């Protein structure tokens, strides 16, 4: 599970991080002192469970919960407060749990276990895309070989579009740029898309692909990627970039130029 905790009290944040680190099944815990930062993170990342206080500098917990559920109705929310009287307000916004600030490991672990059981939450495989310097797919830390060249390139193209939709016609223009847009190449596109679906289903990661009426996109909530990390300002990811991005694909040069500008600007600031 990926958790977030939104709380302006630094001591409560440290307590949560310390206890969460002792609970098995929690893959990642991200903490925020401002509601706006938490909302931006949820917009770009997969989050299974959100813990939050009742009062933040820029927004109260009830308002934040409403905003979160507007963005992702499947995200589960637990409030943590020093005041039992807030519990009624919490459950009025469909909160899935309520903890007092005096909670310990047993209470937090029990709360997470109850939510997983109630909503039949399964552990999803961790999906990571490497784009620097070449494109590779990793599931739970293991490299997944993709023998079909066009299948791998289609997946790479979707990753490059970073959550934006790609039509079949667009994909054909990238993958078969020298071919006319006839029935033969359209058939190749359908077969390639079918084999991509089969690959994802085989690895039990079909949920990362959004597909409807010949339009496809990567669901950014369920994946991680060095390219996306750089776009989000991750300095450690930027250090791994040395001028090469998906270098096996000529169409990736446009994105490579963007990465060069981003990392070059960082180097100037550091200098």
The domain that holds 152 is classified in CATH as: 1.10.10.10
**112 and 131 fall within a common domain:** no
- Rounded mean pLDDT, 161-179: 95
Q: Is the pLDDT of residue 80 over 90?
A: yes
Domain count within the chain: 2
Examine the fold and report which residue of 90, 118, 146 is the final residue of a domain before the chain moves on.
118
**96 and 218 fall within a common domain:** no
Examine the fold and report which residue of 118, 140, 161 is the final residue of a domain before the chain moves on.
118
Q: Between residues 267 and 52, which one has the greater pLDDT?
A: 52
**27 and 51 fall within a common domain:** yes
**Structure tokens belonging to residue 166:** 């790609």
Structural domain span for residue 219: 127-270
257 sits in which H/E element: helix 253-270
- Rounded mean pLDDT, 197-218: 94
d(CA 62, CA 92): 9
The percentage of the chain sitting over the pLDDT mark of 90, rounded to a whole number, equals 68
- Rounded mean pLDDT, 165-193: 95
Examine the fold and report which residue of 56, 85, 118 is the final residue of a domain before the chain moves on.
118
């Amino acid at each position: 599970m990926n958790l977030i905790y939104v709380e302006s009290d630094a001591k409560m944040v440290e307590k949560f991080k310390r206890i969460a680190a002792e609970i098995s099944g929690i893959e990642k815990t991200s903490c925020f002192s401002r509601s706006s930062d938490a909302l931006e993170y949820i917009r770009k990342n997969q989050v299974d469970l959100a813990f939050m206080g009742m009062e933040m500098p820029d927004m109260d917990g009830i308002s934040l919960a409403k905003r979160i559920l507007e963005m992702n109705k499947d995200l589960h929310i637990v409030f943590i407060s020093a005041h039992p009287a807030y519990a009624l307000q919490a459950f009025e916004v469909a909160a899935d749990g309520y903890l007092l600030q005096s909670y310990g490991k047993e209470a937090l672990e029990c709360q997470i276990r109850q939510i997983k059981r109630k909503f039949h939450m399964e552990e999803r495989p961790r999906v990571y895309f490497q784009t620097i310097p070449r494109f590779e797919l990793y599931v739970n830390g293991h490299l997944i070989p993709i023998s079909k060249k066009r299948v791998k390139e289609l997946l790479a193209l979707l990753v490059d579009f970073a959550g934006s939709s790609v039509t079949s016609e667009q994909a054909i223009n990238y993958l078969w740029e020298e071919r006319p847009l006839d029935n033969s190449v359209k058939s190749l596109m359908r077969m390639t898309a079918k084999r991509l679906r089969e690959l994802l289903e085989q690895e039990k990661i079909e949920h990362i692909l959004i597909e409807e009426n010949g339009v496809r996109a990567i669901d950014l909530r369920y994946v991680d990627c060095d390219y996306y990390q750089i776009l989000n300002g991750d300095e450690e990811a930027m250090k791994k970039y040395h001028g090469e991005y998906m270098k096996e694909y000529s169409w990736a040069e446009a994105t490579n130029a963007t990465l060069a500008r981003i990392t070059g600007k960082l180097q100037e600031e550091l200098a």
